[in-house]
Amino acid sequence: MSFEGMWAELLPVGRDAGTGGYHRFAWTPPELECRAWFAGEARRRAMPVEHDRNGNMIAWWLPEDGTREGAVLTGSHLDSVPGGGAFDGPLGIVSAFAAVDLLRERGATPRRPIGIAAFAEEEGARFGVACLGSRLLAGAIDPARARSLTDADGRTFAEVLHGAGLDPEAIGPDDDLLGRVACYVELHVEQGRALAEPVGVASSIVPHGRWRFGFAGEGNHAGTTALADRRDPMVPFAGMVLAARDAAERNGTVATVGKVRVVPGGVNAIASSVTAWLDARGPADGAVRKTVEEVGAAAREAARPHGVAVELAEESYTEIVDFNLALRDRVVRTLGGAPVLPTGAGHDAGVLSARVPTAMLFVRNPTGVSHAPAEHAETADCLVGVEALAAVLDDLARG
């Protein structure tokens, strides 16, 4: 099936008819439908699917001699942020299947296995930690901590894995799988407007992380409680949002509060608690850390006069990732030259770069919007991306 055919099949899955945004959270029905689609595409191409211990899937094109070592891995993820765009994740997987088709049509006979990976819970939209599948695979998160992560309904990651037929006790670093991988190349939609050509190559990912702020106050009646008697957690929460913007401006970083949970959430009730998540990123580790410290201090200061307690916990942090220079240069050479650019977005390729050489290809995004329905790439650019990925895989799988 053509790139356009595969794209059209995936397009309705998990799409909100009203907003056009995607809701494909790990192991929920739309994401399971995407996984079934993945398995179907693999079957269609006679590519055996390996289900690893961490919820990741890999469709393999094995060389004629059956070699399983020295693999060239590509792929991306099928899950989305809440209300996300169509391209973030699936573009890398659809392009990978299309690139395999191109290579086969051209009679290529790879000497190394080529694997197409679908990494689990890349966005962390369900369990809070981004790139959970690749983090587990690479040993970048404690399996016990991963097992106890909960979703919005209070279901643990362990329960959900068990429900999906996986053994929660078996999750964790997989040196057998990683030991068979020579390199990973992920194609992804560009998530800003920095790419003027159809295809570019990544240089680095900026340091980024997620922090959870808990504001504990006292629930009470909105009409009968005098202002002086209130312990309203919403007030310091509001101060924290404004402080995040100020701290980001002062430190040359970006800081976002995009998710908040208010308990109990009644119009006529003072909240008893507020939980808010801060996403902070910047060009240097120190600047990101300073941003978070300043927001923490501002939140505590705003909370004090209201008798509200503040808790601050780091949920995940990824230091700067400089993609492997030799691999990056080889990819650029294979493409006959390509713009090289950094990104502020996190990726499985960033997590895996600690264990295997990784590289990324970006496909131009004319809107510059991502994690929202307006995320876009023109089909013509996607097809240039498929050609580029095919050339890179062909080169890497030869030797």
> Which residues form the interface with Mn ion (CB under 5 A)?
88-89
- Using CB under 6 A, which residues numbered 339 to 368 contact ligand GLV? 345-346
Question: To the nearest whole angstrom, how small is the minimum distance from the Cβ of residue 78 to Mn ion?
Answer: 10
Does 130 interact with ligand GLV (rule: CB under 6 A)?
Answer: yes
Does 132 interact with ligand GLV (rule: CB under 6 A)?
Answer: no
Q: Which helix (H) or strand (E) holds 273?
A: strand 273-281
Would strands 71-77 and 181-189 be described as parallel, antiparallel, or unpaired? parallel
CB of 30 or CB of 128, closer to ligand GLV: 128
CB of 88 or CB of 174, closer to Mn ion: 88
CB 103 within 8 A of CB 96: no
Question: To the nearest whole angstrom, how small is the minimum distance from the Cβ of residue 321 to ligand GLV?
Answer: 12
Q: Which does 186 bind (CB under 5 to 8 A by kind): Mn ion, ligand GLV, none?
A: none
Q: Which of 123, 151, 294, 381 binds ligand GLV (CB under 6 A)?
A: 123
Q: Which is it for the CA torsion 339, 371, 157, 90, positive or negative?
A: negative
Question: To the nearest whole angstrom, how small is the minimum distance from the Cβ of residue 62 to Mn ion?
Answer: 27
CB 200 within 8 A of CB 176: no
Count, residues near ligand GLV per rule CB under 6 A:
4
CB of 208 or CB of 290, closer to Mn ion: 208
CB of 248 or CB of 310, closer to ligand GLV: 248
Burial label for 18, CB within 10 Å (0-12, 13-18, 19+), is exposed
Q: Which does 79 bind (CB under 5 to 8 A by kind): ligand GLV, Mn ion, none?
A: none
**What is the number of the residue whose Cβ is closest to Mn ion?**
88
Structure tokens at 105: 């049509």
Candidates 239, 148, 146, 204; CA nearest to 358 is 204
Helix extents (H) in the chain? 3-10, 29-44, 90-105, 132-138, 143-148, 157-163, 175-179, 234-251, 285-303, 325-334, 348-352, 379-398
CB of 89 or CB of 200, closer to Mn ion: 89
Question: To the nearest whole angstrom, how small is the minimum distance from the Cβ of residue 194 to ligand GLV?
Answer: 15
CB of 130 or CB of 298, closer to Mn ion: 130
* Helix, strand, coil content of the chain in percent (nearest 5): 35, 25, 40
Q: Which does 89 bind (CB under 5 to 8 A by kind): Mn ion, ligand GLV, none?
A: Mn ion
Structure tokens at 148: 């106890």
Interface with ligand GLV by CB under 6 A: which residues? 123, 130, 345-346
